[in-house]
Amino acid sequence: MEQTLTISIQDYLKNIYELTENGESASTNALASKLNVKPASVTGMMQKLASAKPALVEYQKHQGVTLTDDGKKAALEVIRHHRLLEAWLVQTLGYSWDEVHAEAEKLEHVISEDFERRIAAAMGHPLRDPHGELIPTADLQMPLDDSTPLSSLRASQSGIIQYVKTADSELLKHFETLGLIPEAELEVTGYSPFDHNLTIKIGRKSIVLGLNITSKIYVKES
Amino acid sequence: MEQTLTISIQDYLKNIYELTENGESASTNALASKLNVKPASVTGMMQKLASAKPALVEYQKHQGVTLTDDGKKAALEVIRHHRLLEAWLVQTLGYSWDEVHAEAEKLEHVISEDFERRIAAAMGHPLRDPHGELIPTADLQMPLDDSTPLSSLRASQSGIIQYVKTADSELLKHFETLGLIPEAELEVTGYSPFDHNLTIKIGRKSIVLGLNITSKIYVKES
DNA sequence: AAATAAATTTAGTCAAGACTAAATTTAAAG
DNA sequence: CTTTAAATTTAGTCTTGACTAAATTTATTT
């Protein structure tokens, strides 16, 4: 018999947030499989969260759930913790991108607001975590994302690299040798509609990049 | 009605460890008041821990508890986490001695062995935490304490300050201005049996210290 | 529109770990 | 050696958050 470990309310809220970022409501089933819990358990928890003193979710039978403002605040708080922790573990303890997630997952629930402030300040209040995800602000707003995949740019458009989204460290190293790192400025000089290849000029080099690369590099148009 | 928050097994073990450091067994009542739990709850938990697959405590009705070797290992693991965390929070995030305890208390239960190794290495494997408490070794042994209160030295004996044990930051500042800081070397030049005052020579200065001070400064005889 | 499939909820069970009140054991005092 | 007090344990209750199985609702097909 599998030991059934208990899921925190914070985890419920965080996962509802993620499932509802697209504007839709989260289904009982989706939440259940995301949290490795049976659907019936989710129903029970949703009923509880919906009737909490300040309600944390909006819940109607068979209609899925969304977060209330209070629920969203709580979710963003955990997400802020998580992403600040990831950034900080990478910066100060040399964690790699793949190792850092599990550790942050555990720490995010227990750190104090004071701890949060200290690491945020120590890093100069970063905007993104090491995976490139936006970090909710101290007043619990999710910042607007002003970046777009490089693959969406066309000839004559230029941009500044914001972050690189990949879990493949080999690929990451390749990006670095090409100069494709945050802050770098580039200009698109050509576009091939057939295979979606882009020709870009970065520094004094001109290179051709496939969609497998340009879809992982996020830029801010300039 | 007070919300009754649950105490982790690790906390039970850690507190049993502390209560049994003197060699005696821990009483149900002592544990209960230390953990802010009712005695009956402690009895129940002790019965559980005693009959766990590898037993964690030695427990006989009405006789108090002690830790088994497995239990002691688990306790030292948490204590190591706690003390490494305190040292690390102070060193890297500027926590003060009084702020650091509560934060470490929460983190100690969730950090990975990997995290433990990383911070230990980052600090050069410290022997003591910021309060001067010994940090259990990586293989879960409590190091021998080779330090003694300065108040136990007598004329012509000399020593090196190991740590200062006080929660009073004013007093701590006073110590610092006197040069009474870790690593400092001193020699006892006089002793007054009536009031237990010591005259010591530190650097080129000679000063007289009362028991309120000499009992808080721990030295290694040299 | 009826039938079937899929998703969700209800109802009731279980384990953990706290609690209270009552019973029991040990310790202390006369 | 009794008696009383203090400490501890037993017994049974409560809450939480999982689970399963059955019932119900919604969605899809023919």
By C1' distance from the Cα of B62, the closest nucleotide is D8
Instruction: Express as a percent the part of chain A with pLDDT over 90.
Output: 85
Per-residue pLDDT tens for B34-54?
Answer: 999 999 999 999 999 999 999
Work out the minimum CA distance from B112 to partner chain A, whole angstroms.
Answer: 7
- The alpha-carbon gap from A105 to the nearest alpha carbon of chain B, in Å, equals 10
* A 117-176: CB under 8 A from B: 118-119, 122
Question: How remote is the C-alpha of A154 from its chain's centroid?
Answer: 26
Say if B111 is an interface residue toward chain A (CB within 8 Å).
yes
Nearest neighbour of B106 by CB, restricted to A92, A103, A110? A110
**What pLDDT is stored for residue A3 in this prediction?**
58
CA distance B154 to B190: 7
Chain B residues whose CB is inside 8 A of the A78 CB are: none
Per residue in B181-218, pLDDT (tens digit) is 888 999 999 999 999 999 999 999 999 999 999 999 99
**Beta bridge partner(s), residue A198:** A191, A209
Rounded to whole angstroms, the distance from the CA of residue B46 to the C1' of nucleotide D2 is 33
Per-residue pLDDT of chain B (222 residues; tens, 9 = 90+): 565 789 999 999 999 999 999 999 999 999 999 999 999 999 999 999 999 999 999 999 999 999 999 999 999 999 999 999 999 999 999 998 888 999 999 999 999 999 999 999 999 999 999 888 999 999 999 999 999 999 999 999 999 999 888 878 888 889 989 999 888 999 999 999 999 999 999 999 999 999 999 999 999 998
List the structure tokens of A71: 């629920």
Nearest-Cα distance to chain B for A8, in Å, is 14
Q: A29 to each of A8, A15, A17, A63, how far by Cα in Å?
A: 18, 12, 15, 11
Contact check, Cβ <8 Å, A115/B93: yes
Calpha distance B88→A181 (Å, rounded): 31
Domains of chain B: 9-67 (1.10.10.10), 148-221 (2.30.30.90)
Q: Which run of H or E residues covers position A10?
A: helix A9-19
Q: B61-76 burial string, b = 16+ CB within 10 Å, else e?
A: eeebbbbbeebbbbbb
CB-based contact A139:A192 (threshold 8 Å): no
Distance CA B91, CA B182 (A): 15
pLDDT tens-place string over residues A137-158: 999 999 999 999 999 999 999 9
